[in-house]
A and B are shown apart, each in its own frame.
Chain A
Amino acid sequence: MKTLFAPEVEGALPYWQWKVAEYEQAKRDAEANEIEGVDAVTSATPNASFDPRDYILPERNTEPFFLVVEVDAVGDSNEHYADQPSILYRLEIDNAYPSYFQVLDIDGDTKYDEDEEIWEAYYPDERLTTSLSLIDSSLLTIER
């Protein structure tokens, strides 16, 4: 999985950072489980990183998938936060029902669940102010 443009402040996009780590670990675990009994595997060169084509191209993936966008302004304080949490926007793409334009819906603000040890989106409450207006709306255009 590859971060093309990292945020200037580390940890500004905590959900993305966590998903990258989770994905890489899951991939390592899956490969270790699927290919037991060999010392090494020879193949055409696999990418070290996440290949979005494996999810996006209908030829490779027939299952619906989610596109998630994480938005944050570092240091956007208000009376409740010194730095308001990042906001997730999400939409579901199902190639079985192809569309050319889709609007991303707000999914929530990011928080770490200590018990489950996962980052999750929580429905925004009144404590969030300017972080909710960093973008007006987000439209995805799909070239098919």
Chain B
Amino acid sequence: MKGNLQFSLLVFALVSLIVCGCRDTPSVLQEIRGETMGTRYLLKCAVSSERVVEIQAHVEALLEQFDVELSNWNPDSWVSRFNQSESVAWQDAPESVVRILEASKTVHALSGGAFDVTVSPLIELWGFGSENRSGLPDPTEIEEQMQTIGMDQLELDVSGLRIRKAHSRLRINCSAIAKGYAVDLIAGYLSSQGIERYLVEIGGEIRAAQPESTKDHWTVGIRKPRAGQAQLQAKLALRNGALATSGDYMNFTEVDGVRYSHIIDPVTGSPVQHQLHSVTVIAATCSTADALATACLVLGAEAARRLIDEIEGVEAYFVETAADGDIQIHRTSGFIDYQNAAN
């Protein structure tokens, strides 16, 4: 009997040692930073320090795969090869490309055509693409390229993961939604790993789950729409949601004293020219927020506000220049709640 008790105690002690030996250090907020898609990414998540290397490796692998599939700057990416091809036959496509184009078509329809990933030739023509053109394009060149664009020229077979271009010279550029989609992808990966508290940011597009345990929410700043100035225009509280900003102040060119934004209006084939400088959109997913923010910037202040008002569960914050030159802020009523929660 005594022998059995000693054996039991020994087993218990061994099991305890094994359990203690396997236990990770407590989850604390970890920061992972890196570069992707020509910009930076930030990942904050509450995990044990042992998991940081594994998580970063997986995130980097996801982003590299994303580059291989979607980049217009990588000449060997799937999108680059699709753009170079003049075939109008159905082509098998990576799931990421099909999903992004599906989401793009949705926002295209919602925005009355303002969001259009087929403006790729015009992005190149105006010098904002991978070809490094300079100077203003000739109006006849714009007219010629306008013949090659149009979301109706792009057909999707979502269940079959296939894409077809109806016009042989159709090209796509998913930059206006790709970062948001990548944020969603990383958020999905973190959730699948049982990580409940995280924030993911790529190039200013953000998705957050629950905040770190000591806080009620994540605090997010909206940057003032001025190049080279890292100052905040506003703060808001984010919890289980996504937001994205589109603006004309980071990527533009100036010719003869005139500033041309990188945001191309698919109706005119030229950079947008209006007083709306920055739009921040809150939505359930970052890809939706990202695409809607760009659509708003194409539409201009009034039409953008109408668009956002029509979509349930979406809020927005607009920064524009008033007639007297002052900065003017417009925001949806729901957005004010997010700001109040941050104070």
A37 contacts the other chain (CB 8 A): yes
B231 contacts the other chain (CB 8 A): yes
**One of B57-65, B111-119, B196-204, B266-274 contacting the partner:** B196-204
Q: Which residue of B lies closest to A32 (CB)?
A: B230
Q: Which of A41, A44, A47, A49 contacts B246 (CB 8 A)?
A: A44
Interface residues of chain B: helix, strand, loop or mixed (majority): strand
A82 contacts the other chain (CB 8 A): no
Give residues 228-254 of B contacting A (CB, 8 Å).
228, 230-232, 235, 243-251, 254
Contact: A48 with B220, CB < 8 Å? no
Interface residues of chain A: helix, strand, loop or mixed (majority): loop
CB distance from A19 to the nearest CB of B (A): 18
B222 contacts the other chain (CB 8 A): yes
Q: Which residue of B lies closest to A45 (CB)?
A: B203
CB distance from A59 to the nearest CB of B (A): 6
CA distance A104 to B35 in the complex (A): 34
Contact: B38 with A47, CB < 8 Å? yes
CA distance A22 to B199 in the complex (A): 28
Most B Cβ at <10 Å: residue of A30, A34, A40, A42: A42
Contact: A60 with B38, CB < 8 Å? no
Contact: A46 with B40, CB < 8 Å? yes
Report how many residues on chain B are interfacial, defined by Cβ distance under 8 Å. 40
User: A43 with B250: in contact, given A35-B221, A35-B232, A38-B221 (CB under 8 Å)?
Assistant: yes
Contact: B245 with A59, CB < 8 Å? no
Give residues 119-136 of B contacting A (CB, 8 Å).
none
CA distance A106 to B221 in the complex (A): 45
In the complex, chain B residues whose CB is within 8 Å of the CB of A35: 221, 230-232
Most B Cβ at <10 Å: residue of A31, A40, A54, A60: A40
Contact: A60 with B227, CB < 8 Å? yes
Task: Give the total number of A-B pairs whose CB atoms are below 8 A apart.
Answer: 96
In the complex, chain B residues whose CB is within 8 Å of the CB of A38: 219-221, 232, 235
In the complex, chain B residues whose CB is within 8 Å of the CB of A57: 254
B159 contacts the other chain (CB 8 A): no
Q: How large is the interface on A (under 10, 10 to 19, 20 to 34, 35 or more residues)?
A: 20 to 34
B225 contacts the other chain (CB 8 A): yes
Contact: B247 with A39, CB < 8 Å? no
In the complex, chain A residues whose CB is within 8 Å of the CB of B220: 38-42
1/0 per position for A44-87, CB-CB distance to B under 8 A? 11111100001001011000000000000000000000000000
CA distance A7 to B248 in the complex (A): 35
In the complex, chain B residues whose CB is within 8 Å of the CB of A39: 44, 199, 211, 218-220
CA distance A41 to B218 in the complex (A): 11
CB distance from A35 to the nearest CB of B (A): 6
**Could you tell me which A residues sit within 8 Å of B by CB distance?**
30-31, 34-35, 37-49, 54, 57, 59-60
**Could you tell me which B residues sit within 8 Å of A by CB distance?**
35, 38-40, 42, 44, 179, 199, 201, 203-206, 211, 218-223, 225, 227-228, 230-232, 235, 243-251, 254, 259, 278, 280
